[in-house]
Each structure stands twice: as structure tokens, then as C-alpha cells.
């Protein structure tokens, strides 16, 4: 209403600086460009240290995921960031950065305990994750992982946790459960309920559509040179 006196307003949005970090996806024309863009990981954008990884589903390794993107940053600004660094992406999109929960299981209780001690507070995708033993695990081999950044896939989570030992099972919000194939595991709703209970007990709280919300969906993405 404030700007209508100057003419027809086609778009308006309010950016919340206190919102959780977002996740970006960028694709490059060549592997050389993508490899150069990977070198920008660790860059500080508006106070956020971004982490850049090859997208787990990219067969040619030209599609990257950008974690911990500032909540106020739109796709065009992220595209400009890479362009100014000398690597213009062929596609760029930014999606909601709401964190989620995940489940990890090991073969033995000893390894699970070591992982809880070692990886709690570690950095994954630019975010600090919380790792705790699942209080409902009868054999103490099951861990609950909180504050997992949006866009992290099961393989990336498994790679992060295998530094402590062989991972038997991994489940994220984006996957039904993979890794070692040790049963079907709990439903995502059960995982979230367990995580909420754990966070309440600890006295804390933790809180992509590359194509659907991007250029093809008519949203905030960009493809090719037409935008």
C-alpha cells in the first residue's frame, strides 16, 4: 500500500534477518567452472560462512549445493556472488533453509557413543549439528541428529558419520532410510516426535526445489541467459 501511490506494484516481499539460513543450488556448464566454484566454500556472506558441496544426485558433478546461505539472500544475489567470482552459473535457485532431524545407526553401542561424543557440535553443511543417543534405542546403537541443514542428503550424512566407524543405517527427511539396509526404521513423524522429546528434555530447541520453485516453476530461480 505504501508504494501504490507511485504506480502498480508487481512484487513485494519482506525479508526476515532472523529467519534460518537457506540452501542454494547452482549448476555450471562445465566441470572446470564447478570445481572453481567449490573453492569459494568458507566465504563469508552477510555474516554467514557458506559451505559448497557437489550435489549428491549430480552425475557430471556440475551441480552444487550451497549451505548456510543468508536468509535475506535471493537467487539473483547468489548468482551475482558467483558471477563476481568469475564463475557464472547456468542455473541458480535458493530454497527454504529450515533444519530437520535425521537418524544414524552403528553396528555397536561403543561406536555410537564415540560418535555422539565426537560429532556433537560438529559442522555439517555450514550448520552446527546436535548428536545424541536415542533414549528409545534398546541396544544403544541409534543416534538422533538435530539441526541438519535443508538439502543434506543421506549419503552426505553417512559420509560425515563414517569417520567414527561403519554406518549401518541412515535416514533423513529426504530419504526413507539408507546406508546398511538394517530394517525399515521408524517413520519420519516418529523421528520428529522423538527429537522434540529429546530437545525438551535438554531444555533447548532446534529448529529444495531447484526446479519446482525455480525458473521452471515460475518462482525465484534462473536458467540460461534469459533472466
Return the biggest CA–CA distance within the chain: 67
Dihedral sign for Cα atoms in the order 194, 197, 202, 204: positive
The gap from C-alpha 35 to its chain's centroid, in whole angstroms, comes to 20
Band the pLDDT of 181: cuts 50, 70, 90: very low
Mean pLDDT of 39-52: 93
**Residue-level pLDDT at 88:** 96
Given a cut of 70, whether residue 183 has pLDDT beyond it is no
Mean pLDDT of 206-215: 37
Mean of per-residue pLDDT scores for the chain: 78
pLDDT tens, 120-145? 999 887 778 999 999 999 999 999 99
Rounded distance between C-alpha atoms, residue 135 and residue 25, angstroms? 36
Given a cut of 50, whether residue 185 has pLDDT beyond it is no
Mean pLDDT of 146-153: 81
**Residue-level pLDDT at 27:** 95
Q: What cell does 8 get?
A: 502498480
Query: Does residue 87 or residue 208 have the better pLDDT?
Result: 87
Percent of the chain at pLDDT > 70 equals 68
**Residue-level pLDDT at 150:** 72
pLDDT tens, 85-110? 999 999 999 887 667 889 999 999 99
Rounded distance between C-alpha atoms, residue 95 and residue 22, angstroms? 6
Q: What cell does 55 get?
A: 550435489
Given a cut of 60, whether residue 227 has pLDDT beyond it is no
Given a cut of 80, whether residue 168 has pLDDT beyond it is yes
**Residue-level pLDDT at 210:** 35
Band the pLDDT of 13: cuts 50, 70, 90: low
Amino acid at each position: 500500500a505504501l508504494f501504490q501511490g507511485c504506480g502498480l506494484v508487481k512484487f513485494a516481499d519482506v525479508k526476515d534477518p532472523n529467519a534460518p539460513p537457506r540452501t542454494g543450488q547452482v549448476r555450471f556448464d562445465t566441470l572446470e567452472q564447478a570445481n572453481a566454484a567449490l573453492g569459494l566454500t568458507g566465504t563469508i556472506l552477510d555474516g554467514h560462512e557458506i559451505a559448497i558441496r557437489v550435489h549428491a544426485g549430480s552425475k557430471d558433478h556440475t551441480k552444487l549445493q550451497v549451505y548456510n546461505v543468508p536468509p535475506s539472500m535471493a537467487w539473483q544475489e547468489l548468482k551475482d556472488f558467483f558471477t563476481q567470482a568469475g564463475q557464472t552459473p547456468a542455473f541458480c535457485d535458493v530454497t527454504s533453509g529450515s533444519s530437520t532431524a535425521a537418524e544414524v545407526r552403528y553396528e555397536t553401542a561403543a561406536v555410537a557413543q564415540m560418535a555422539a561424543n565426537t560429532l556433537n557440535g560438529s559442522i555439517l553443511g555450514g550448520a552446527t549439528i546436535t548428536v545424541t543417543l536415542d533414549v528409545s534405542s534398546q541396544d544403544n546403537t541409534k543416534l538422533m541428529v538435530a539441526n541438519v541443514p535443508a538439502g543434506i542428503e543421506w549419503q552426505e550424512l553417512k559420509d560425515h558419520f563414517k569417520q567414527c566407524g561403519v554406518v549401518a543405517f541412515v535416514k533423513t527427511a529426504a530419504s526413507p532410510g539408507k546406508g546398511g539396509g538394517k530394517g525399515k526404521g521408524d517413520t519420519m513423524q516418529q523421528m520428529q516426535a522423538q527429537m522434540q522429546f529429546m530437545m525438551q528434555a535438554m531444555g533447548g530447541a532446534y529448529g529444495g526445489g531447484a526446479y519446482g520453485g525455480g525458473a521452471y516453476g515460475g518462482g525465484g530461480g534462473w536458467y540460461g541467459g534469459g533472466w
